[in-house]
Amino acid sequence: MLIRSRNGTEESGFSLLEVLAALVVLSVVSLVLTSFFTNALTYAKGNQSKTVMVNLARNALFYMEKQSFEPIQAYFADSSHTAISCRISGCDALVSPLAEDASILQQILNPNINGVQYTISVIYQREMHNDMLHDPDQKNMAEELLPVMVRVDRAGGTASARNRAEVEGYIASERVR
């Protein structure tokens, strides 16, 4: 747009309307970019939490693998026992003897990491174990292994895939360690 000054020379510049239109376009673009970065940050935070939960599950599985096999096998032989878990307040009398130190077991199954409380359950996969016991090729090994799934949940969180992690593994007898 051309503007004439008082002395008759032409000057070019932007009108107020053009400046406002440019500000509106710039604002819309910046809002879209801000939304993108906010979503990316939320996604990264969720992945960080999921990584913590998977590492806690692996830690609990490793701890259970190092405990005496026979008490755990006897515990799961009772069909009413499907999982090893402890309340935040402590482990009950049936679960406590499964580990060398019940207080450590309680800490392993109820860790508090960076101010976030997690609950861990070691779930016996009875059906998978029965299938292994009935397979002639796996029967000998099945007598020395207990298939388990370690489930980690954020305490107080909603039951969603973002607040849960699961790791499968085996608790092995001392004879095959």
Per-residue DSSP letter, 97: G
Going from the C-alpha of 97 to that of each of 23, 32, 119, 172, the distances in angstroms are 69, 57, 19, 18
- Which stretches of 18-154 are assigned E, i.e. beta strand? 83-84, 112-113, 116-124, 145-154
Q: What is the structure's pLDDT at 8?
A: 56
CA-closest candidate to residue 145, choices 130, 167, 166, 155? 130
Q: What is the structure's pLDDT at 5?
A: 56
- Which stretches of the chain are assigned E, i.e. beta strand? 2-4, 10-12, 83-84, 112-113, 116-124, 145-154, 164-172
The one-digit pLDDT tens for each residue of the chain (177 residues) are 555 556 656 667 788 899 999 999 999 999 999 999 999 998 898 899 899 999 999 999 999 999 999 999 999 999 999 999 998 888 888 898 898 898 999 999 999 998 999 999 999 999 999 999 999 999 999 999 999 999 999 987 676 778 899 999 999 999 887
Q: What is the structure's pLDDT at 46?
A: 84
Going from the C-alpha of 76 to that of each of 42, 81, 87, 127, 138, the distances in angstroms are 40, 6, 19, 12, 19
Annotate 129-168 with DSSP letters as a single string.
Answer: HHHHHHSTTTHHHHTTEEEEEEEEEETTS-SSGGGEEEEE
Strands 83-84 and 10-12: unpaired
Burial of 98 (0-12, 13-18, 19+ CB in 10 A): buried
